[in-house]
Each structure stands twice: as structure tokens, then as C-alpha cells.
Amino acid sequence: MQTVICPGSFDPVTKGHIDIIKRAAKTFEKVIVAVFVNKAKVPCFTIEERIHFLEKALEGVENIEIVSCEGLLADYARERRVTAVVKGLRAMSDFEYEFQMALTNKILYPELETLFLSSSAENMYLSSSIVKTVASFGGDIRDFVPECIHDEIRDRLCGGGVNNES
């Protein structure tokens, strides 16, 4: 068993993210959940908020460490002496992008392997973008995000205003 990194922007964290992280935690000795700054996106939540959400949603999972990261995943992995990354895949479109990233990381840090876990069937469609879109129109996001952080995410994405959830 070894240490792996589960990287992502987690903006916001979804049930799909939590499923992949928990499955990785059952398989590996330690999982570093690395909350990365994605310079290509403007986040809805601060790094601190995203870490808070992950801490609440993963409460009781003992073999995880949640950290914030900037820069390249390959550099962070090398710095931590970690040689494996676990990524979740929902669809073929995910595979194309993640395969490119895995090959790039392999060039930057040849010891780094990327392992793919397929999403659970109930999470195949789910993404942070979907959560943000549905919430922005006042839609019910209860099935998309962990219940323990639902209200915080909904209030922020809906502007604390009225929504269609009961």
C-alpha cells in the first residue's frame, strides 16, 4: 500500500468527488486530497472554503490529508515523494483530458503514475459545473452535494436567496 494524491479544484465538492476519494482511501494507505488553484477558472469558493467542505464531507475517514496547492501536480507529487495519482472518470470526454494530463505529468515526473477510477453509476453525470448551474437557477442540488455541506453551498450559489428546495 502507498500514498496517493487525489487532485482537483473541488469548486464545489460533489458526491462524485467524495465517492472517488473514499474508494481511494479504502484501497491505499494514505490519500492526499490536493485542492488546486485552476488558473483557467474563476472559483466560486475560496481555497479555505473548499478545504472546509472536504473536511466536513470526509469526517471520519482517517487516512486522508487535505491540502491546498498551487502550481503543477507533478511538482507537488515530486516534493511529497508520491508516485501515484488517482483520478475519477465520468465519461469518454473526461478520459481524453485526463489522459493528456497523465501523459504530461509522466513527462514532468517520470515516476508518477495516474490511476483512473470510474465513477459510480449514480454519479456519472455529476460535475461541479452542473451543481453551480442548477443552483444559480434556484434548482435543488440536494442529490449532487453531501448533505452536511448542502446548505452552505446552496446559500452561496443561490446568493442566500429564495430557491425551489423544500
Q: Which of 9, 15, 17, 87 is catalytic?
A: 17
Q: Which of 50, 87, 128, 132 is catalytic?
A: 128
Q: Which of 41, 129, 136, 142 is catalytic?
A: 41
Active-site annotation holds for 128: yes
Concatenated DSSP letters of the chain: --EEEEEE--TT--HHHHHHHHHHHHHSSEEEEEEE--TTS--SS-HHHHHHHHHHHTTT-TTEEEEEE-S-HHHHHHHHT--EEEEEE-SHHHHHHHHHHHHHHHHHSTT-EEEEEEPPGGGTT--HHHHHHHHHTT---TTTS-HHHHHHHHHHHTTTS--S--
Active-site annotation holds for 52: no
Active-site annotation holds for 129: no
Q: Which of 50, 90, 132, 154 is catalytic?
A: 90
Active-site annotation holds for 41: yes
Catalytic residues: 17, 41, 90, 128
